[in-house]
Every structure is written in structure tokens, then in C-alpha cells.
Structure 1
């Protein structure tokens, strides 16, 4: 699995970006959002139970990410048509503000190292990459445990300070770097 310090791999996938007729799909590459922070999160399967709770929460908090110059990208091994059908029929997913990447060949999930060994689906992985595409944070949950989107935002905030941030630090609090410079 790729980890902190590795670069987000090159990729080109179809993505579901809208429910508007004629504008549903778009090709997305690792260069599409060049210069932005990326928050790439993967889920195992569309039309399941835990996955829509996470996807909807990323959607609800999308403005928190865009305010931080970060682009959210969702990812699974389902096709763009399955993503579209799910968005059409699930009320919490209809108006998602971020692309749902379709990795039907498993190329991106394999390159990231996040395919479940027995199930062959994406693990619940979250990657935060800086504007140069360098991975700065990775978390992976078992298939049965959803992630905490607020913690992803908190981690992004901490990374963007470029300072020493203690346990449970939140945006607006003093960093250790600030405390050390005052003591000096």
C-alpha cells in the first residue's frame, strides 16, 4: 500500500459528476485538480449500507474541503453507470458535489494497494495528498467500519499548518511550534 511520502499514482478513469442529462460523466486524471490538496477516499461497493453514510457525509462537508483548497474524490471499483444509478436512486447521494471515480479495471486501487485480498473490492482507505501530489496522510478501515469525515478535515487542517500539531489539535488552537517560539 502507498503511504506517506509516496506520490499519488498516474491514473485516468471515468467519473460520475452529475445527474444532468449529457453532463453525467467526465474523464478524471491525477492532473485534473493539479495544484490543489486532494482527499481521495475509497469505499467497497455501491448499493451497500455503510458506504452511503460516508459518501453523504463527505458531500455535506464538501464546502469545508473547498474552503481549504482541497478537492474530494470518491472511488470504488464499480462502473460510472453503477455510480450514476446509485446517485439517481439514493436520496442522500443525488446532489453530490464531487466526482465518483469508476475504477472498473482496478488499476488505481491496485496502484494504491487498497484492494481487499479476499473480496477484491476497495478497502475504506482515505488519502490526503498535498498540491504536489505527495501523500501526507493515509488511513484504512476494515470493510465493516465507517470513517470519520470530521477527523479527515482536522487532519487536513493540521497538515496545512506545516507546524507541529499535538494530539486532538483543532484549527484555531495554538500549535506546538507556536508554543515553542513563545518560550524561546
Structure 2
């Protein structure tokens, strides 16, 4: 079942960010684009490579008005310990959300039942809190943060320019399409 068009429901969670424990709620995501970047667990193998890659794109995402929430079923205490011991995780400036009760992970239908871990899932919400992009990969396949930035730019463009759509591999500044009967069979 696709979550495209799903509106985020109320939630409250504890997170680690910039050396402090902070509370994150659904109110924090309203009015801006947000990325919920789920990963299976702290102190693992593919996860730190993805989280570091996402940190490398964080300034670009912030410039687009996007906030990032890294989420696993670990606690916010575990996130701090990981940041204190891993050079890759120690660089992270975005929120690392603890979801040990699985509230967020279940809300995004991203929990591996019987295992208690989140799938490797990315969910992008628009300023109204509605899911616009979804990507889920198996545990052994890492994601590409630069491609995520490209997709967010396309989603934002599409929302801001009614009647236009972004074709495959669209990059900012490239031509878009205006769907019409005249294009049918000509692309």
C-alpha cells in the first residue's frame, strides 16, 4: 500500500541533535518539507555510510527549506553514544530520532514485524505534512542522498508549477513537460 498522499498523524519523539536531547513532534514538520530517513539500527554497517552521505547533502537540503529526521528503533541515548564513538555519525547535524516504541516506524508502515527494526525507508513530506516521495530498499542496499536532493527539487517544482511535470532524470533548470493530448504517443 502506497503512502503517497498520506498525512502525518500526531506524534512525539525524543531525538539527539547537536549535542542535546530534544523533543520532536508533528508540529515541527508543518510549514516545511521534511525527510524521514529510517534505518535499521545504530552501530551497524550500511547505516553509517548512508547517514554520513545524507549529512554531506544536509546544507543543500537546508537551503531548499528541508529538515531531516534520521529515525531508527534505537533510543535517543543510543544515538548520542553512537555519535560520541563514530567519526561518521559524530558529524551529523540533523535530528536522530529514537523510536523504541515503534510509533513513527509503524505510522510509515516501515517496521519489520517480528524483528523490531525499521526498513531502510525514505519518506518526504511537503509543508502540509503529506507524504510526496517514498523509497524503500532492502537492508543490504544503501541509498544515495544526492538523488534524494534531486527528487525533492523535482517534487517541489511540480507542486509550485501546476500543469507541469518533471521527466526522468530531470535536473533543476531543465525543461519540463505540460501533459496534454498533443503529447500522447509523441514522447
TM-score (norm 2): 0.89
- Which residue is equivalent to 1:136? 132
Q: What corresponds to 2:88 in structure 1?
A: 92
Contact 2:33-2:66 within 8 A present in 1 as well: yes
CA distance in 1, matches of 2:9, 2:151: 22
Q: Which residue of 1 aligns with 2:63?
A: 67
Could you tell me how far 1:13 is from its partner in structure 2? 0.4
> By how many angstroms is 1:177 displaced?
3.0
Structure 1 residue 11 corresponds to structure 2 residue 7: no
Structure 1: give runs of 5+ residues left out of the alignment: none
Contact persistence 1:114–1:123 (CA under 8 A): yes
Q: In the alignment, is the contact (CA less than 8 A) between 2:39 and 2:118 conserved in 1?
A: yes
The 1:71/1:103 distance shift into structure 2, 3 A limit, reads same
Alignment of 1:40-119 (within 5 A): 40-119=36-115
Q: Partner residue of 1:168?
A: 169
Q: How far apart, in 1, do the equivalents of 2:5 and 2:128 lie?
A: 11
Helix, strand or coil at the partner of 2:34: strand
Note the residue ranges of structure 2 that are not aligned, 5 or more in a row: 159-163, 183-187
- Distance in 2 (CA, whole Å) between partners of 1:141 and 1:72 is 18
For the residues of structure 1 that align with 2:27 and 2:174, how far apart are their CA atoms? 33
Give the corresponding residue for 1:150: 146
Q: 1:2 to 1:9 in 2, by over 3 A?
A: farther
Mapped partners of 2:132, 2:29: distance in 1 = 17
In 1, the alpha carbon distance for the partners of 2:29 and 2:157 equals: 21
Q: Offset at 1:172?
A: 1.6
How many residue pairs end up in the alignment? 175
Contact 2:69 2:97 in 1 (8 A): yes
TM-score using structure 1 length: 0.91
